Amino acid sequence: MSFKKSTRASMLCFILLNTSSLLSTSSLLSTSSLLSTSSLLSTSSLLSTSNVQADSALWLSYLTPPEKWPQKPALAKQDILPLPNAIKVDNGLAELGRRLFHAPSLSKTGDISCASCHRPSVGFSDPIQVSVGINGRKGHRNSPSLLNVDLWDVLFWDGRATELHIQATDPLTHPLEMGATPKHAVEQVHKLFALSQAWQKAYPNKKVNWPDMALALAEFQKTLRGPDTVFDLFYRYIENQDYAKAKTTLNDAQLLGMHVYRTKAGCVNCHHGELFSDQEFHNTGLHYFGRRFEDLGTYELTNNPADMGKFRTPMLRHLTQTSPWMHNGLFDDLTGIVRMYSHGGARPRRPKDLDSMLAFPITSDILVPFKLSKEEESALLEFLKIL
């Protein structure tokens, strides 16, 4: 790990406890106080959920068809939705893709596979800040979960691809990841019996080629649908008008958390739909302009000053499996993230010595401060854990 967990935690702690630090990027890196990831799941760090109660009126407002739920903010283009059914795939093609996904031989050095950075045991994400590629080389962005990846319209943190089979070439050839070539990947299918056999089953009598290998990888990734969560079950009971079962699916804290998420906290403005993401690009102030960890997001592709610091809105599903979070993997405490956004996000100051003719990334005005009681904050965190 290129950046110690304690450093990530100290940065976040400073954001949480000092609202003035939200105005200065440098302050994010200057504190030595610590927060432990264990506090995320520890009742000692939160108001006990046994003390959180949703009144009967709130229950009644949600034990009704979703279109009649309490009104969400006008900025939210969509409400929160359950996962759709998994799509049908070509099993032979998906099996070839599975084998390719787990084949380190495809990398230049023979020791890095797709699964090295997207580990099945942690929701096909990576539990370290940034993934390690060939020869120990470290990237500069966190590897996002591939669960439900078929539902994305845009891929990567900067949206540089829109099709799964097209994006496959990027990690294969990236010098900080697998560092190989399509030609090398094709050669490995010829060399390895298991891959060659899987190829023949998927593409009988067809010459091995990279574009079709990429299609197989995409087909496998389409099978990575996350299981129904507590939220999904609740929503489906509501859809089926089985309100008795719906009421037993969530506890009071989770219901209150869902209500806070959809209303007071405004999380739904950017985190909605099936993925709990609007699939758009926003600047949340975490670009570290002019500092260590600087990353200007989509600007690095478009060179449009309006894109400086913008990243794809991350999926909020499977959060408890996929820490650390954010594009840079610097954050491992959900409580701290909630509190950062309660202050309107990070709002670093423009450097005094920056030429007035040069652009500086501006935090999105979608982010506005909100105030939660301890009970509401605790409830919101409980809701985030069941997505």
- Residue-wise pLDDT for 336-345, tens only, equals 999 999 999 9
**Confidence bin at 55 (pLDDT 50/70/90):** confident
Q: Which of 42, 249, 331, 155 is nearest to 258 (CA)?
A: 249
On whether both 214 and 255 belong to a single domain, the answer is: no
Per-residue model confidence (pLDDT) at position 35: 28
Taking only the tens place, the pLDDT of each residue in 291-320 is 999 999 999 999 999 999 999 999 999 999
Give the pLDDT mean for 125-129.
96
Give the pLDDT mean for 102-117.
98
On whether both 75 and 98 belong to a single domain, the answer is: no
Which of 204, 221, 238 lies at the terminal end of a domain, its last residue? 221
3-class DSSP assignment, residue 138: strand
On whether both 285 and 148 belong to a single domain, the answer is: no
Which of 221, 251, 284 lies at the terminal end of a domain, its last residue? 221
Instruction: Please list the residues that pair with 331 across neighbouring strands.
Output: 325
On whether both 65 and 107 belong to a single domain, the answer is: no
Domain count for the chain, please give it. 2
On whether both 97 and 64 belong to a single domain, the answer is: no
On whether both 317 and 368 belong to a single domain, the answer is: yes
Taking only the tens place, the pLDDT of each residue in 233-251 is 999 999 999 999 999 999 9
What is the H or E stretch that residue 281 is in?
strand 281-283
Q: What does the alpha-carbon distance between residue 340 and residue 19 come to, in Å, rounded to a whole number?
A: 8
| Candidate from 43-47, 102-106, 341-345, 347-351 with smallest mean pLDDT | 43-47
Which of 221, 236, 267 lies at the terminal end of a domain, its last residue? 221
**Residue 214 CB burial class (10 angstroms; 0-12, 13-18, ≥19):** buried
Q: What does the alpha-carbon distance between residue 83 and residue 63 come to, in Å, rounded to a whole number?
A: 20
pTM: 0.85
Give the pLDDT mean for 49-60.
76
Per-residue model confidence (pLDDT) at position 13: 42
**Confidence bin at 53 (pLDDT 50/70/90):** low
Per-residue model confidence (pLDDT) at position 20: 36
The answer, yes or no, to whether residue 30 has pLDDT greater than 90, is no
On whether both 29 and 174 belong to a single domain, the answer is: no
Give the pLDDT mean for 280-290.
97
Structure-model confidence comparison of residues 46 and 61, the more confident one: 61
On whether both 348 and 216 belong to a single domain, the answer is: no
Range of the domain at 147: 91-221
Read off the CATH number of the domain in which 145 is found. 1.10.760.10
On whether both 249 and 164 belong to a single domain, the answer is: no
Taking only the tens place, the pLDDT of each residue in 151-166 is 999 999 999 999 999 9
Taking only the tens place, the pLDDT of each residue in 164-222 is 999 999 999 999 999 999 999 999 999 999 999 999 999 999 999 999 999 999 999 99
DSSP assignment of 303-347 equals --GGGTTEEEPPP-TTGGGS-SBSTT--B--HHHHHHHHHTTS--
Per-residue model confidence (pLDDT) at position 155: 97
Q: What does the alpha-carbon distance between residue 213 and residue 32 come to, in Å, rounded to a whole number?
A: 48
On whether both 276 and 352 belong to a single domain, the answer is: yes
On whether both 328 and 356 belong to a single domain, the answer is: yes
On whether both 118 and 171 belong to a single domain, the answer is: yes
Q: What does the alpha-carbon distance between residue 98 and residue 116 come to, in Å, rounded to a whole number?
A: 13
Phi-psi region of 363 (alpha: psi -120 to 50; beta: other; left: phi over 0): beta
**Confidence bin at 27 (pLDDT 50/70/90):** very low
